[in-house]
Amino acid sequence: MSDPIRVSEIFGPTIQGEGALIGVPTVFVRTGGCDYRCSWCDSLHAVDAEYRHEWMPMQAGAVMAEVARLSGGRPLLVTLSGGNPAIQPLGPLIEAGRAQGYRFAMETQGSVARDWFAALDMLVLSPKPPSSGMVVDWAAFEACVAASKGAETVLKIVIFDEADYQWAREVAGRYPDLPLVLQPGNHTPPPPGDDSAVVDHDGINDRMRWLVGRVTADGWYGARVLPQLHVTLWGNRRGV
């Protein structure tokens, strides 16, 4: 029996709300636990230890059974999210799901490399910019890039301000062969235990317009600027 996966929530079908697969129908498997604590994290219920009692240890087969139930047994994209899903033993889940025709995409900050990255259909590597308050371990990030060979690998960077933008330019220069998505930053999260999920839509839209203007003025034509569609539709509510 494989090690259990700490699951924060499984929900869907819905659409992927961000990144290279935006708009694609998917079921989400959100794991609990993270080795980062970003200042603007919008998924604290899958990160903060205060919510640990909500995280359910589940075997890969049980997770896959719930995905199949939600999807009516019709294979679709499964999005592995967190927290940082790379700290969970997801290899057996990916193997079981792909045997049933499901596809798998995962987003991680690139702090922990796993050999099962190569079994993903898409790996989104999202290094955290200065506004997050975190510092990227580039050796660990390089290991994640190397481990993802076989999966379609995409770079995604959240942008809040000019410092983030300039940092993103530098990161993109490190990885010119990776497709790049830029995403305007979301809200400052409410205190732990507050599920009001307040979203500053005006602020997000202002950042989106500013970011589009910066990219086009600089002729940075290799970057795609995309919003968080799910935030536009539902704010930061859980389970959508």
* Residue 34 domain boundaries: 5-157+227-234
Domain for residue 113, yes or no? yes
| Whole-angstrom distance, CA of residue 30 vs CA of residue 160 | 24
How large is the average pLDDT for residues 171-190? 87
Domain for residue 79, yes or no? yes
| Whole-angstrom distance, CA of residue 233 vs CA of residue 237 | 10
Domain for residue 179, yes or no? no
Q: Hey, CA dihedral for 153, 216, 23, 44, is it positive or negative? A: positive
DSSP state of 178: S
Q: Are 44 and 32 in contact (CB under 8 A)?
A: no
Q: Please confirm whether the linkage preceding 13 is cis (ω < 30° from 0).
A: yes
Domain for residue 206, yes or no? no
Question: Structurally, how many domains does the chain consist of?
Answer: 1
What CATH number is attached to the domain comprising 139?
Answer: 3.20.20.70
pLDDT at 200: 81
Domain for residue 240, yes or no? no
pLDDT tens string 81-126: 999 999 999 999 999 999 999 999 999 999 999 999 999 999 999 9
Q: What are all long-range contacts of 44-49, with beta carbons under 8 Å and residues at least 24 apart?
A: 44/189, 44/192, 45/8, 45/9, 45/195, 45/238, 46/8, 46/9, 46/81, 46/82, 46/83, 47/82, 47/83, 48/192
For the cut 80, the answer to whether the pLDDT of residue 37 exceeds it is yes
Where residue 234 falls (left for φ over 0; alpha for ψ -120 to 50; beta otherwise) is: alpha
Domain for residue 183, yes or no? no
Q: Are 125 and 148 in contact (CB under 8 A)?
A: yes
Position 66, amino acid: E
pLDDT tens string 62-75: 999 999 999 999 99
Domain for residue 193, yes or no? no
Q: Are 211 and 225 in contact (CB under 8 A)?
A: yes
Position 79, amino acid: T
Domain for residue 81, yes or no? yes
